[in-house]
Structure 1
Amino acid sequence: MKKNHGPAFRAAQLDLARCPVCKGRAVVKGVFHDLACVQCNASGWIAAETGESLPLEILVTQLSIRLQAADQQIEQLKSGSLMAGPAAQYEHNNRRGAGGSNYTGD
């Protein structure tokens, strides 16, 4: 086993699960108003392996990692880089037609 000194170079992404108490809403129904869920530190997420709430420092890091991945996926979908096949030919101008217009070969 290799010895490690100091913190890890990269933050590892942990598996998160929705809190079973608040069902991911971060609040529970009180008698008169909603209360912050104490099971998940009012985040709606718990550690999937242990079922325990994460410390706030780790929770913020894990949610940031997930948000960055979701933002990257949204940008890929917006740019259309995932489009392939015949549909991609119709969406982008290849400047092969008359006057630099799009030529599809139809």
Structure 2
Amino acid sequence: MKKSHGPAFRKELRPLMVCGICRGATVVSGVFHQLDCTACNASGWICAQTGEALPPAELVQQLSLKLRNALAELARASQPLGGAHELYEQNNRRGAGGSNFTGD
């Protein structure tokens, strides 16, 4: 079912890219000191689709979604792969008195 009006049911992850002006550093060099980058609102990130800076509230939400996705992917990658070793170590209760039987 496609919504035609009103707020979205879920927040969508918008593609972000590093600001081309400050190159993600959040500041640009002035004559004597560093100034906040106005192209990205001193965040280092801009919308990849429009090339404009996101409002701070939207940026916080988008970075939080991006961080949660990255942490979930990292957790999936760090989980050990299951296999014969795990089955060998688990108690299968097939031995005498419900002990482990490995078949060796």
TM-score, normalising length: structure 2: 0.71
Aligned residues: 95
TM-superposed CA distance for 1:94, in Å, is: 4.2
* 1:34 counterpart residue number: 34
Alignment of 1:68-87 (within 5 A): 68-80=68-80, 83=81
Alignment of 1:1-80 (within 5 A): 4-80=4-80
TM-superposed CA distance for 1:19, in Å, is: 0.5
Larger radius of gyration: 2
In 2, the alpha carbon distance for the partners of 1:9 and 1:3 equals 9
In 1, the alpha carbon distance for the partners of 2:11 and 2:76 equals 23
- Runs of 4+ residues deviating >4 angstroms: none
In 2, the alpha carbon distance for the partners of 1:24 and 1:3 equals 35
TM-score, normalising length: structure 1: 0.70
SS at match of 1:49: coil
